[in-house]
Structure 1
Amino acid sequence: MIPRPDRMELKGGGRVLWLPNPASPFVSFHGSLSAGVAAEAPGEEGVAEFLSRLLLSGTKHGTARRLSQSLEGRGATLEFHTAEDLLIFRGRTTRAAAGTAFGIAADCLSNPVIPAKEVERVRGELLTDIRRDRESTREHAEKELLARVFPSGHPYGRDPKGTEESVTSIEPRGLLEFHERCYRREGLIVSLAGDVDEGFVTSTVAKALESIPEGASPDAAPPPTPERPSAGFVDLPHKSQADIAIGLQSIPRNHPDYYDLNLANLLFGVIGMYGRLGASVREEKGLAYYSFARLRALRSGGHWSIVAGVNPVRLEDALRAISEELDRIRERPFTEEEIETGRLNQIGGLAVNLERNAEVAGALHGMELHGLGLDFLERYPEIVTGLGRESVQGAGERYIRKQDCSLVVAGPIGGRTFAL
């Protein structure tokens, strides 16, 4: 029996979930605020990521060196990063050092300072990362695909790092304005796993988090409107590999078809050496260095995609093989044996993940974010076991639609164009 986590609502906003692991001497934590890319106003592209990289650069109460020494000297870790919907912070600490770790996390979220030297350091990092991504065939193809799949300006289609133009124009005042507007406790979620109990949460964690300013969090991203499929071709003549990215919009995490589609995606392009897709395109035909599928289900929508790394001279053959596999979803339905293998994989994967505190904390966070209920971990095996062949097949046919997919190819392609 998987234990059920406990949950506490904080005064002034925010929620904390925890699941004890008596065998562990550590506490893993996974927290978030609604301050991701979706919170950026027009003209703020890249601000959320820029600010997240500055959060450990010092606060009104301590320099970057002092923060680092306080964490490292107690064997604790803390990191921040930006996702489509959220600012995420996570790390690990001992129970004895937790007051320090959570105090620093709350201080970074509540009282950041923006030293001019650090602003220029982060600006340089982001510009370097953007230029490096542009030189990566895979990164370039995937980012171009998302820009085509989602409407212009939608946060799910934007690079969290922004553009060279937006990063160059970001100023400290804009970073502080974003912080003042978006770093609010109403949207706070923190999950804990390991050496935790209610007394510890109340006396240490909740006490530290109460310093985060109260107030309403930004609205979630609007559901994206459908986009017509399109194609883009990026010539990178100095590269030796080409990357293919194919995809379309998909469903949010709380959609009732999520579990069926997730299993269909597992069988098509994830399980083993990347499912049916990898077995055919990579293993049997030798047309790709890698080829896999991905389902990313977010708060307000999502996307489904295929990524394949290919020898440029074999692009047409690889695309033909991928196209055939997409057709076979309808022409050769998933078998009962495939479905059962997928069910066992998903149930077993959960069990393996729950052996590690960090993964438990991440799972608890997702449960709260998407409103899955405190009994989700108990119900999950039953949910997966109840997925039938017809419902999984139906989800695959409804949401993996070749005719609605956009296509991007990046690499040494010259003036060539391609189609599915």
Structure 2
Amino acid sequence: MSERFIAEHIKTLKPSGIRRFFDLAQSMEGVISLGVGEPDFTTPWSVIEASYHSLERGFTAYTPNAGLPQLRRSIAKFLSARFSVDYDSKDEIIVTVGASQAIDIAFRSILNPGDEVIVMEPSFVSYVPTITLAGGVPVIVDTHEHNQFKLSKDALEQAITKKTKAVLICSPNNPTGAVLDKEDLEGISDVIKAHDLLVISDEIYADLIYDEAYTSIASLEGMKERTLLVSGFSKAFAMTGWRLGYVCGPEGLISQMLKIHQYTIMSAPTMAQYGAIEALENGLGEVAYMKESYKQRRNYVVKALTRMGLSCHTPGGAFYVFPSVKSTGLTSAEFAERLLMEEKVAVVPGSVFGESGEGYIRCSYAASMKQLTEAMVRIEQFVNKLKAKA
């Protein structure tokens, strides 16, 4: 096919670095994958049953564009009880096809060509491309290990220009596991309010936080009206394949986002929405069990990596560790590629999450303890071989 049929801005768009390693690992036998953020738990059975029963009852038609009213009420109730953020389920919530679609329609709704969005990096691989596809300009603010990969108030202030329209934050963060606590968020919110900006807050990992209470930036004074809160069911409820998320925000903005949602998606899958109602109403005990298991795995992996000489801060949330491989003398891509080929362990090079991720690798500890134990043995063997050759 002639390349003239392909849009110029798509030609320059890079494919996901995460999927590259995942696909490579899938083609090899005996690989332990710590690459993709995929819970090893299956979806809670009561959620699966609720979805089955919706089909048995003939609930197979479209739902309202914004989602089932009962699900939106459940989301509003959950956010109020869990994070002290109150939303009108009728006009301030849209149920989306995963959190990724929520972020996409958020940027397409707010950005004019040339508008700038500040992104804290290392960051999830889709953020920058999604901003670019919406006509915006991503402005990167690097975070660093010595500050536990947190976005600082001062760094944010320095990145703001006359073209800045929004700030994208992700806490707990993918890939670093960093958590912005209440004090961090208060400083950030002061800057956002002073410059009259919007914040897109990706809170998909908010229920997987291990050492402190979670604070949503939308709960802070004066922030709800300038926040789009994005979340979903993939991570905490082990529902990645169900593709169900949501976005909450001011009615005036949500109504505009709903127009894009109507024309591109119509509505999120009906059976998944019925499953999500069950997840919110009766599945939180399962989330607590999974979270405790992740915490044990986190502690084990951080200790193992540190012992073998790969410095690693203890992540406060999500299910990733982000150890430094700088001591090996290899780039993050070289380390990941050789580890896969020589020891059959798949991790993701930190460089795919932005320039500040160079020198690190992302390892997901959402694998079983048996797999994690064997993976740590293999990684240590690899590191020891590198040391012997140094």
TM-score, normalising length: structure 1: 0.24
TM-score, normalising length: structure 2: 0.25
Bigger share in strand: 1
